[in-house]
Amino acid sequence: MLVIVAPGQGAQTPGFLEPWLEDPVFENRLNWLSAVAGLDLVHYGTKADADTIRDTAIAQPLLVASSMLAALAVFPHPGDAFTKMGALAGHSVGEIAAAVGAGVISAEQAMVLVRERGKAMAAASAATATSMTAVLGGDRDEVLAKLVEHGLTAANDNGPGQIVAAGTVEELAALAADPPAKARLVPLSVAGAFHTKHMEPAVQTLAGYARSITTHDPRSRLISNRDGQIVHDGRDVLSRLVQQVNAPVRWDLCMQTMADLQVTGILEMTPAGTLTGIAKRALKGVETFALKTPDQLDDARAFVDKHGSPSEINASPTWRLLVAPMKGTFTREANVPREPGDTVEAGEVVAMVKSLRDELEVRAPHGGIVVEWLVEEGDPVAPGQPLVRLHPSAVN
Protein backbone atom coordinates (compact mmCIF):
# COMPACT_ATOMS: atom_id res chain seq x y z
CA MET A 1 0.00 0.00 0.00
CA LEU A 2 1.14 3.52 -0.87
CA VAL A 3 0.66 6.50 1.47
CA ILE A 4 1.33 10.02 0.16
CA VAL A 5 2.33 12.61 2.76
CA ALA A 6 2.81 16.40 2.75
CA PRO A 7 5.28 18.14 5.09
CA GLY A 8 4.61 20.98 7.52
CA GLN A 9 6.24 24.26 8.40
CA GLY A 10 10.01 24.11 8.76
CA ALA A 11 10.54 21.85 5.76
CA GLN A 12 11.16 24.80 3.42
CA THR A 13 14.70 25.85 2.47
CA PRO A 14 15.91 28.78 0.35
CA GLY A 15 15.65 28.14 -3.38
CA PHE A 16 14.00 24.72 -3.07
CA LEU A 17 11.65 25.42 -6.00
CA GLU A 18 14.40 26.64 -8.34
CA PRO A 19 14.68 23.39 -10.37
CA TRP A 20 10.91 22.98 -10.55
CA LEU A 21 10.46 26.38 -12.20
CA GLU A 22 12.36 25.16 -15.26
CA ASP A 23 9.12 23.42 -16.21
CA PRO A 24 6.78 26.03 -17.74
CA VAL A 25 3.70 24.03 -16.71
CA PHE A 26 4.80 24.05 -13.07
CA GLU A 27 5.67 27.75 -13.33
CA ASN A 28 2.26 28.64 -14.80
CA ARG A 29 0.46 26.71 -12.07
CA LEU A 30 2.54 28.37 -9.37
CA ASN A 31 1.80 31.78 -10.86
CA TRP A 32 -1.91 30.97 -10.69
CA LEU A 33 -1.71 29.88 -7.05
CA SER A 34 0.34 33.03 -6.35
CA ALA A 35 -2.50 35.11 -7.75
CA VAL A 36 -5.02 33.28 -5.58
CA ALA A 37 -2.89 33.67 -2.44
CA GLY A 38 -1.86 37.25 -3.17
CA LEU A 39 1.80 36.31 -2.69
CA ASP A 40 4.72 36.01 -5.12
CA LEU A 41 5.36 32.32 -4.45
CA VAL A 42 7.77 32.11 -7.39
CA HIS A 43 10.05 34.64 -5.68
CA TYR A 44 9.70 33.07 -2.24
CA GLY A 45 10.42 29.59 -3.57
CA THR A 46 13.51 30.62 -5.54
CA LYS A 47 15.13 33.90 -4.42
CA ALA A 48 14.02 34.65 -0.86
CA ASP A 49 16.36 33.98 2.06
CA ALA A 50 15.77 31.69 5.03
CA ASP A 51 14.53 34.45 7.35
CA THR A 52 11.97 35.61 4.81
CA ILE A 53 10.45 32.19 4.17
CA ARG A 54 10.44 31.42 7.90
CA ASP A 55 7.65 34.00 8.22
CA THR A 56 4.50 32.01 8.99
CA ALA A 57 2.36 34.04 6.61
CA ILE A 58 4.74 33.18 3.75
CA ALA A 59 5.91 29.70 4.68
CA GLN A 60 2.47 28.11 4.94
CA PRO A 61 1.09 29.08 1.49
CA LEU A 62 4.48 28.24 -0.05
CA LEU A 63 4.48 24.75 1.46
CA VAL A 64 0.91 23.90 0.51
CA ALA A 65 1.33 25.15 -3.06
CA SER A 66 4.59 23.20 -3.46
CA SER A 67 3.12 19.92 -2.24
CA MET A 68 0.03 20.26 -4.41
CA LEU A 69 2.01 21.04 -7.57
CA ALA A 70 4.55 18.28 -6.93
CA ALA A 71 1.64 15.83 -6.67
CA LEU A 72 0.29 17.09 -10.00
CA ALA A 73 3.71 16.51 -11.53
CA VAL A 74 3.66 12.89 -10.31
CA PHE A 75 0.08 12.39 -11.52
CA PRO A 76 -0.39 14.49 -14.71
CA HIS A 77 -3.91 13.02 -14.89
CA PRO A 78 -5.07 13.62 -11.28
CA GLY A 79 -7.78 10.96 -11.41
CA ASP A 80 -5.05 8.33 -11.80
CA ALA A 81 -3.96 9.00 -8.23
CA PHE A 82 -7.08 7.34 -6.84
CA THR A 83 -6.12 4.07 -8.51
CA LYS A 84 -2.74 4.12 -6.77
CA MET A 85 -2.78 5.79 -3.35
CA GLY A 86 -4.16 3.90 -0.39
CA ALA A 87 -4.14 6.90 1.96
CA LEU A 88 -2.97 10.50 2.41
CA ALA A 89 -1.75 12.48 5.38
CA GLY A 90 -0.19 15.86 6.09
CA HIS A 91 1.86 17.15 9.00
CA SER A 92 0.31 20.31 10.45
CA VAL A 93 -0.37 22.69 7.53
CA GLY A 94 0.48 19.85 5.14
CA GLU A 95 -2.92 18.39 5.93
CA ILE A 96 -4.46 21.15 3.78
CA ALA A 97 -2.54 19.82 0.77
CA ALA A 98 -3.62 16.29 1.70
CA ALA A 99 -7.26 17.42 1.80
CA VAL A 100 -6.89 18.72 -1.76
CA GLY A 101 -5.33 15.43 -2.83
CA ALA A 102 -8.28 13.55 -1.36
CA GLY A 103 -10.75 15.75 -3.24
CA VAL A 104 -12.23 17.43 -0.15
CA ILE A 105 -11.51 21.02 -1.22
CA SER A 106 -10.14 22.64 -4.37
CA ALA A 107 -6.64 24.02 -4.79
CA GLU A 108 -8.04 27.56 -4.87
CA GLN A 109 -9.99 27.03 -1.64
CA ALA A 110 -6.83 25.60 -0.07
CA MET A 111 -4.76 28.66 -1.01
CA VAL A 112 -7.28 31.09 0.44
CA LEU A 113 -7.57 29.00 3.61
CA VAL A 114 -3.82 28.64 4.09
CA ARG A 115 -3.24 32.32 3.33
CA GLU A 116 -5.64 33.30 6.10
CA ARG A 117 -4.28 30.57 8.37
CA GLY A 118 -0.75 31.90 8.05
CA LYS A 119 -1.82 35.50 8.63
CA ALA A 120 -3.99 34.62 11.63
CA MET A 121 -1.30 32.45 13.24
CA ALA A 122 1.30 35.17 12.71
CA ALA A 123 -1.02 37.69 14.38
CA ALA A 124 -1.67 35.33 17.29
CA SER A 125 2.07 34.78 17.68
CA ALA A 126 2.68 38.51 17.88
CA ALA A 127 0.31 38.86 20.85
CA THR A 128 2.57 36.94 23.26
CA ALA A 129 6.25 36.01 23.12
CA THR A 130 6.08 32.27 22.46
CA SER A 131 8.18 29.65 20.71
CA MET A 132 8.87 25.92 20.39
CA THR A 133 11.68 23.54 21.39
CA ALA A 134 12.32 20.00 20.15
CA VAL A 135 12.85 17.48 22.95
CA LEU A 136 14.91 14.62 21.58
CA GLY A 137 15.32 11.38 23.50
CA GLY A 138 14.43 10.72 27.12
CA ASP A 139 11.63 8.61 28.56
CA ARG A 140 8.33 9.56 26.93
CA ASP A 141 6.31 9.69 30.16
CA GLU A 142 9.02 11.66 31.93
CA VAL A 143 9.25 14.12 29.05
CA LEU A 144 5.48 14.70 28.99
CA ALA A 145 5.37 15.08 32.78
CA LYS A 146 8.19 17.64 32.66
CA LEU A 147 6.33 19.67 30.00
CA VAL A 148 3.20 19.73 32.15
CA GLU A 149 5.29 20.79 35.15
CA HIS A 150 6.50 23.84 33.25
CA GLY A 151 3.10 24.69 31.72
CA LEU A 152 4.14 23.63 28.22
CA THR A 153 2.24 21.73 25.53
CA ALA A 154 3.49 18.76 23.53
CA ALA A 155 2.58 20.52 20.28
CA ASN A 156 4.04 17.82 18.00
CA ASP A 157 4.35 14.16 18.94
CA ASN A 158 6.34 12.72 16.07
CA GLY A 159 7.09 9.31 17.52
CA PRO A 160 9.61 7.81 19.94
CA GLY A 161 12.11 10.39 21.14
CA GLN A 162 10.66 13.24 19.07
CA ILE A 163 8.37 15.61 20.95
CA VAL A 164 8.13 19.36 20.35
CA ALA A 165 7.36 21.53 23.38
CA ALA A 166 5.57 24.84 22.90
CA GLY A 167 4.67 27.75 25.16
CA THR A 168 5.90 31.13 26.33
CA VAL A 169 9.56 32.00 26.15
CA GLU A 170 9.65 32.04 29.96
CA GLU A 171 8.21 28.51 30.15
CA LEU A 172 10.71 27.27 27.58
CA ALA A 173 13.55 28.92 29.48
CA ALA A 174 12.44 27.08 32.61
CA LEU A 175 12.47 23.81 30.66
CA ALA A 176 15.99 24.56 29.42
CA ALA A 177 17.12 25.04 33.01
CA ASP A 178 15.38 21.86 34.15
CA PRO A 179 15.29 19.44 31.17
CA PRO A 180 14.01 15.86 31.26
CA ALA A 181 16.63 13.24 32.03
CA LYS A 182 18.61 11.92 29.05
CA ALA A 183 16.90 14.37 26.67
CA ARG A 184 18.47 16.93 24.34
CA LEU A 185 16.74 20.27 23.76
CA VAL A 186 16.88 22.02 20.39
CA PRO A 187 15.20 25.47 20.20
CA LEU A 188 13.31 25.91 16.92
CA SER A 189 13.41 29.03 14.76
CA VAL A 190 9.68 29.71 14.85
CA ALA A 191 7.81 32.81 15.90
CA GLY A 192 5.05 31.22 17.93
CA ALA A 193 3.67 28.33 19.96
CA PHE A 194 1.78 26.64 17.16
CA HIS A 195 -0.81 23.95 17.99
CA THR A 196 -1.37 25.32 21.49
CA LYS A 197 -3.92 27.48 23.32
CA HIS A 198 -1.97 30.54 22.18
CA MET A 199 -3.41 30.02 18.68
CA GLU A 200 -7.07 30.25 19.77
CA PRO A 201 -7.60 33.66 18.06
CA ALA A 202 -6.50 32.08 14.75
CA VAL A 203 -8.99 29.24 15.23
CA GLN A 204 -11.84 31.71 15.59
CA THR A 205 -10.75 33.58 12.47
CA LEU A 206 -10.52 30.41 10.37
CA ALA A 207 -13.84 29.09 11.64
CA GLY A 208 -15.53 32.12 10.11
CA TYR A 209 -13.97 31.49 6.71
CA ALA A 210 -14.70 27.77 6.87
CA ARG A 211 -18.44 28.41 6.97
CA SER A 212 -18.21 29.63 3.36
CA ILE A 213 -16.21 26.66 2.03
CA THR A 214 -17.99 23.83 0.25
CA THR A 215 -16.57 20.35 0.69
CA HIS A 216 -16.75 16.84 -0.76
CA ASP A 217 -16.16 13.59 1.08
CA PRO A 218 -12.63 12.21 0.62
CA ARG A 219 -12.10 9.91 -2.36
CA SER A 220 -9.29 8.11 -0.55
CA ARG A 221 -8.44 7.43 3.10
CA LEU A 222 -7.46 10.70 4.78
CA ILE A 223 -5.51 10.25 8.02
CA SER A 224 -6.15 13.09 10.47
CA ASN A 225 -3.06 14.41 12.26
CA ARG A 226 -5.19 15.22 15.30
CA ASP A 227 -5.65 11.58 16.32
CA GLY A 228 -4.60 9.30 13.46
CA GLN A 229 -8.21 8.49 12.58
CA ILE A 230 -9.48 7.99 9.05
CA VAL A 231 -11.92 10.82 8.34
CA HIS A 232 -14.50 10.33 5.61
CA ASP A 233 -16.87 13.28 6.06
CA GLY A 234 -15.81 16.40 4.17
CA ARG A 235 -17.21 18.82 6.73
CA ASP A 236 -15.40 16.94 9.49
CA VAL A 237 -12.15 17.22 7.52
CA LEU A 238 -12.62 20.99 7.22
CA SER A 239 -13.48 21.32 10.91
CA ARG A 240 -10.32 19.44 11.81
CA LEU A 241 -8.24 21.71 9.54
CA VAL A 242 -9.53 24.65 11.56
CA GLN A 243 -9.21 23.06 15.00
CA GLN A 244 -5.73 21.65 14.40
CA VAL A 245 -4.29 25.16 14.64
CA ASN A 246 -4.51 25.01 18.45
CA ALA A 247 -4.45 21.21 18.83
CA PRO A 248 -1.31 19.06 19.06
CA VAL A 249 -0.14 17.20 15.95
CA ARG A 250 -0.16 13.45 16.69
CA TRP A 251 2.04 12.23 13.87
CA ASP A 252 2.87 9.21 16.00
CA LEU A 253 -0.77 8.11 15.75
CA CYS A 254 -0.79 8.81 12.01
CA MET A 255 2.14 6.42 11.62
CA GLN A 256 0.37 3.84 13.78
CA THR A 257 -2.58 4.01 11.37
CA MET A 258 -0.19 3.60 8.45
CA ALA A 259 1.19 0.49 10.15
CA ASP A 260 -2.37 -0.78 10.70
CA LEU A 261 -2.98 -0.30 6.98
CA GLN A 262 0.15 -2.37 6.29
CA VAL A 263 1.75 0.43 4.30
CA THR A 264 4.70 -0.66 2.17
CA GLY A 265 5.69 2.69 0.64
CA ILE A 266 5.55 6.35 1.75
CA LEU A 267 5.98 9.09 -0.85
CA GLU A 268 6.64 12.58 0.54
CA MET A 269 5.86 15.63 -1.55
CA THR A 270 8.15 18.63 -2.03
CA PRO A 271 9.87 20.00 0.05
CA ALA A 272 10.50 16.43 1.16
CA GLY A 273 12.76 14.72 3.66
CA THR A 274 11.36 15.47 7.12
CA LEU A 275 8.51 12.95 7.19
CA THR A 276 10.38 10.21 5.35
CA GLY A 277 13.19 10.66 7.87
CA ILE A 278 10.76 10.10 10.74
CA ALA A 279 9.23 7.10 8.96
CA LYS A 280 12.62 5.44 8.48
CA ARG A 281 13.09 5.43 12.25
CA ALA A 282 9.53 4.56 13.28
CA LEU A 283 8.25 2.27 10.49
CA LYS A 284 10.95 -0.31 9.99
CA GLY A 285 10.78 -2.17 6.68
CA VAL A 286 8.63 0.48 4.97
CA GLU A 287 10.20 1.97 1.84
CA THR A 288 10.25 5.75 1.56
CA PHE A 289 10.73 8.23 -1.27
CA ALA A 290 11.44 11.93 -0.68
CA LEU A 291 10.49 13.89 -3.82
CA LYS A 292 12.77 16.93 -3.79
CA THR A 293 13.51 17.78 -7.44
CA PRO A 294 11.83 17.16 -10.80
CA ASP A 295 14.63 14.90 -12.03
CA GLN A 296 13.27 12.33 -9.56
CA LEU A 297 9.82 12.18 -11.18
CA ASP A 298 10.40 9.03 -13.24
CA ASP A 299 11.69 7.23 -10.16
CA ALA A 300 8.77 8.57 -8.12
CA ARG A 301 6.28 7.18 -10.64
CA ALA A 302 8.07 3.83 -10.55
CA PHE A 303 7.78 3.93 -6.74
CA VAL A 304 4.04 4.63 -7.08
CA ASP A 305 3.60 1.72 -9.48
CA LYS A 306 5.48 -0.60 -7.13
CA HIS A 307 3.45 0.20 -4.02
CA GLY A 308 0.21 1.59 -5.39
CA SER A 309 -3.22 0.01 -5.07
CA PRO A 310 -6.73 1.49 -5.24
CA SER A 311 -8.34 2.70 -2.04
CA GLU A 312 -11.40 0.71 -1.00
CA ILE A 313 -13.22 4.00 -0.51
CA ASN A 314 -12.98 4.80 -4.21
CA ALA A 315 -14.70 1.54 -5.17
CA SER A 316 -18.16 3.07 -4.66
CA PRO A 317 -19.67 6.58 -4.59
CA THR A 318 -18.12 8.11 -1.49
CA TRP A 319 -21.25 9.84 -0.27
CA ARG A 320 -22.91 6.46 0.21
CA LEU A 321 -20.27 4.93 2.45
CA LEU A 322 -19.54 4.95 6.17
CA VAL A 323 -16.03 3.75 6.94
CA ALA A 324 -14.03 2.55 9.94
CA PRO A 325 -12.07 5.41 11.58
CA MET A 326 -9.37 3.02 12.83
CA LYS A 327 -8.29 -0.60 13.08
CA GLY A 328 -10.46 -2.64 15.43
CA THR A 329 -13.51 -4.87 15.81
CA PHE A 330 -16.85 -3.93 14.24
CA THR A 331 -19.99 -3.90 16.39
CA ARG A 332 -23.34 -2.71 15.08
CA GLU A 333 -25.50 -0.60 17.36
CA ALA A 334 -28.44 -2.67 18.61
CA ASN A 335 -31.16 -0.17 17.67
CA VAL A 336 -29.91 0.52 14.14
CA PRO A 337 -32.12 -0.71 11.25
CA ARG A 338 -30.67 -3.96 9.95
CA GLU A 339 -32.59 -4.48 6.73
CA PRO A 340 -32.00 -2.89 3.32
CA GLY A 341 -34.49 -0.11 2.75
CA ASP A 342 -34.56 1.09 6.37
CA THR A 343 -33.63 4.71 7.11
CA VAL A 344 -30.70 5.93 9.18
CA GLU A 345 -31.14 9.46 10.53
CA ALA A 346 -28.53 12.17 10.09
CA GLY A 347 -26.07 12.09 12.98
CA GLU A 348 -27.20 8.66 14.18
CA VAL A 349 -24.61 6.28 15.60
CA VAL A 350 -24.74 3.16 13.46
CA ALA A 351 -21.73 1.19 14.72
CA MET A 352 -18.76 1.08 17.03
CA VAL A 353 -15.16 0.18 16.28
CA LYS A 354 -13.27 -1.10 19.31
CA SER A 355 -9.52 -1.54 19.70
CA LEU A 356 -7.17 -2.02 22.61
CA ARG A 357 -6.53 1.73 22.49
CA ASP A 358 -9.97 3.22 21.97
CA GLU A 359 -13.65 2.77 21.22
CA LEU A 360 -15.06 5.04 18.52
CA GLU A 361 -18.55 5.74 17.25
CA VAL A 362 -19.36 5.62 13.55
CA ARG A 363 -22.07 8.16 12.72
CA ALA A 364 -24.04 8.83 9.55
CA PRO A 365 -23.28 12.53 8.88
CA HIS A 366 -26.11 12.94 6.36
CA GLY A 367 -28.25 9.89 7.06
CA GLY A 368 -29.72 7.81 4.27
CA ILE A 369 -31.32 4.51 3.35
CA VAL A 370 -29.49 1.27 4.08
CA VAL A 371 -28.44 -0.42 0.84
CA GLU A 372 -26.22 -3.12 2.34
CA TRP A 373 -23.94 -3.89 5.25
CA LEU A 374 -20.43 -4.66 4.05
CA VAL A 375 -19.12 -6.30 7.24
CA GLU A 376 -20.56 -8.69 9.81
CA GLU A 377 -20.87 -8.37 13.58
CA GLY A 378 -17.50 -8.97 15.23
CA ASP A 379 -15.47 -8.66 12.02
CA PRO A 380 -11.98 -7.15 12.28
CA VAL A 381 -11.81 -3.97 10.20
CA ALA A 382 -8.97 -1.86 8.81
CA PRO A 383 -8.75 1.94 8.93
CA GLY A 384 -10.99 3.38 6.20
CA GLN A 385 -12.68 0.06 5.41
CA PRO A 386 -16.28 0.58 4.19
CA LEU A 387 -18.86 -0.65 6.73
CA VAL A 388 -22.25 0.14 5.24
CA ARG A 389 -23.56 1.61 2.00
CA LEU A 390 -26.27 4.25 2.27
CA HIS A 391 -28.42 5.84 -0.41
CA PRO A 392 -29.42 9.46 0.20
CA SER A 393 -33.06 9.74 1.27
CA ALA A 394 -35.41 12.55 0.34
CA VAL A 395 -35.34 14.00 3.85
CA ASN A 396 -31.57 14.21 3.86
Tens digits of residue pLDDT in 70-93: 999 999 888 888 889 999 999 999
Asked whether residue 357 is assigned to any structural domain, the reply reads yes
Number of domains in the chain: 3
Residue predicted with more confidence, 333 or 85: 85
Note whether 328 and 307 are same-domain residues: no
Residue 63 has pLDDT above 90, yes or no: yes
pLDDT at 357: 82
Note whether 208 and 148 are same-domain residues: no
Note whether 43 and 144 are same-domain residues: no
Asked whether residue 240 is assigned to any structural domain, the reply reads yes
Catalytic residue of the set 92, 125, 220, 311: 92
Asked whether residue 341 is assigned to any structural domain, the reply reads yes
Note whether 58 and 157 are same-domain residues: no
Q: What is the CATH number of the domain that holds 19?
A: 3.40.366.10
Q: What is the mean pLDDT of residues 327-351?
A: 83
Confidence of residue 395 (pLDDT cuts 50, 70, 90): very low
Note whether 336 and 386 are same-domain residues: yes
Note whether 100 and 133 are same-domain residues: no
Q: What is the mean pLDDT of residues 186-214?
A: 92
pLDDT at 318: 56
Tens digits of residue pLDDT in 152-169: 999 999 987 899 999 999
Residues facing 165 on adjacent strands:
133, 154
Asked whether residue 85 is assigned to any structural domain, the reply reads yes
3-state SS of the chain? Answer: CEEEEECCCCCCCCCCCCHHHHCHHHHHHHHHHHHHHCCCHHHHHHCCCHHHHHCHHHHHHHHHHHHHHHHHHHCCCHHHHHHCCCEEEECCCHHHHHHHHCCCCCHHHHHHHHHHHHHHHHHHHHHCCEEEEEEEECCHHHHHHHHHHCCCEEEEECCCCEEEEEEEHHHHHHHHHCCCCCEEEEECCCCCCCCCHHHHHHHHHHHHHHCCCCCCCCCCEEECCCCCCECCCHHHHHHHHHHHHHCCECHHHHHHHHHHCCCCEEEECCCCCHHHHHHHHHCCCCEEEECCCHHHHHHHHHHHHHHCCCCHHHHCCHHHEEECCCCEEEEECCCCCCCCCCEECCCCEEEEEECCCCEEEEECCCCEEEEEECCCCCCEECCCCEEEEEECCCCC
Is 92 labeled as catalytic in the residue annotation? yes
Non-local CB neighbours of 77 within 8 Å, separated by 6+ positions: none
- Last residue of a domain, which of 136, 157, 187? 187
Instruction: Please report how many Cα atoms fall inside a 13 Å half-sphere around the Cα of residue 342, on the Cβ side.
Output: 11
Tens digits of residue pLDDT in 272-316: 999 999 999 999 999 999 999 999 999 999 999 999 988 777 655
Note whether 103 and 230 are same-domain residues: yes
Note whether 137 and 14 are same-domain residues: no
368: left (phi over 0), alpha (psi -120 to 50) or beta: left
Note whether 59 and 96 are same-domain residues: yes
pLDDT at 170: 96
Note whether 302 and 381 are same-domain residues: no
Rg of the Cα atoms in the chain: 21
Note whether 52 and 90 are same-domain residues: yes
Range of the domain at 373: 316-391
Asked whether residue 108 is assigned to any structural domain, the reply reads yes
Tens digits of residue pLDDT in 90-136: 999 999 999 999 999 999 999 999 999 999 999 999 999 999 999 99
Q: What is the CATH number of the domain that holds 151?
A: 3.30.70.250
Catalytic residue of the set 195, 198, 232, 366: 195
Residues facing 67 on adjacent strands:
none
Asked whether residue 65 is assigned to any structural domain, the reply reads yes
Q: What is the CATH number of the domain that holds 384?
A: 2.40.50.100
Note whether 40 and 93 are same-domain residues: yes
pLDDT at 396: 42
